[in-house]
Amino acid sequence: MQRENREKFGLLLGLVGVICFSLTLPSTSIAVEYFGTTVVGLGRTVVAAILVAVVLIVRKEKLPSPRQFKSLLIVAVGAVLGFPLLTSWAMEILPVSHGAVELALLPLATTGFAMFRAKEISSLKFWISSIIGSLAVIVYALHLGFGQLQFADLALLAAVVILGLSYAEGGILAKELGSWQVIAWAIMIGAPFFVIPVGLNLSTEMLHVPMRAWISFIYLAVVSQFLAYVAWYSGMAMGGIARVSQIQYLQPFLMILFAAAFLNESITLFTLVIAVIVVFSVILGKNAPVSKKGSVSEKN
């Protein structure tokens, strides 16, 4: 494949990944109503592990080294345990459009942790953009919470922090382990520990839940937890991390659109304005100049 075509295909895969991720919160909101937080938050990994195991065996992937295993634990805690569980709980209480605005901070959190891991010194521009984005989210949460932050808001913000850390760690590890292999092994690490709590929360009543709840849960397990990562990481590998990562700015708006389309949520002008402010601050922060300790400042 020629370089130009390869880059275009990479951008297409990146877009597919972002669209898939954008359906995660709407699907979670539907599924958690019938299956509960534990089954939706952890059960998706148990189901995904079956698919992942088949792929790893067919491709005869080598086991990670002990050093890589330590990094995979960080990825597993964030992408496999923390984020799914926290967002599942939050979606029992908050509308999807609300969550979309707060999760818009994820690229900024990822960048911040990546700078920390690379021992880079963040510029004033980065911190200013981070403060603007964070304040916008807090004002939004306070406005909808009638002057106080709800625990669900704190759960979403914690999900952003913990997933940002795992994304940064996974991005570094992907250079030596492979792109999608990072999330694949993270799923295999977490799944065995989730079988018992998921099993204890299963009931025969779940067999009679509406079809849309089953479709939502299967989507979370097969697409959101694994296939979306394959498309996203493969897209960045083919189209370039810098170019493909820009597509992620569409995610909060796509989430809001899907919330209106599938959940009939009313989207206010205030929500859209705050989303624009947050995304703009994220763009500024990701493009802010950074420098290595003891070196001259340079563009990230």
Please give the span between the terminal C-alpha atoms of the chain, in angstroms, as a whole number: 29
pLDDT for the residue 297: 39
What digits encode the pLDDT tens for the residues 272-293? 999 999 888 888 776 666 665 5
Please say whether the beta carbons of 105 and 282 come within 8 A. yes
> What six digits make up the tokens of 133?
């984005």
The C-alpha atoms of residue 181 and residue 133 are separated, in whole angstroms, by 32
pLDDT, position 194: 96
Q: For residue 235, with 0-12 CB atoms within 10 Å meaning exposed, 13-18 middle and 19 or more buried, which class applies?
A: buried
Residues ≥6 apart with Cβ < 8 Å to 293: 119, 120, 121
Give the span between the Cα atoms of 79 and 182, in whole angstroms. 10
Give the position of tokens 């997933």: 163
CA 214 to chain centroid, in Å, comes to 21
Which residue stretches of the chain have pLDDT < 70? 1, 118, 120, 122, 145-148, 241-242, 286-300
How far is CA 152 from its chain centroid? 17
The distance from CA 120 to its chain's CA centroid, rounded to whole angstroms, is 23
Q: What's the predicted TM-score (pTM) here?
A: 0.86
Q: Which tokens is 142 given?
A: 């306070």
- Domain residue extents for the chain: 3-292
Alpha-carbon dihedral of residues 172, 173, 178, 184, nearest 10 degrees? Answer: -120
H/E element, 87 = helix 83-90
Task: For Cα atoms 86, 90, 93, give the angle at the middle one, nearest 5 degrees.
Answer: 160
Contacts of 265 (CB under 8 A, 6+ apart): 95, 96, 97, 259
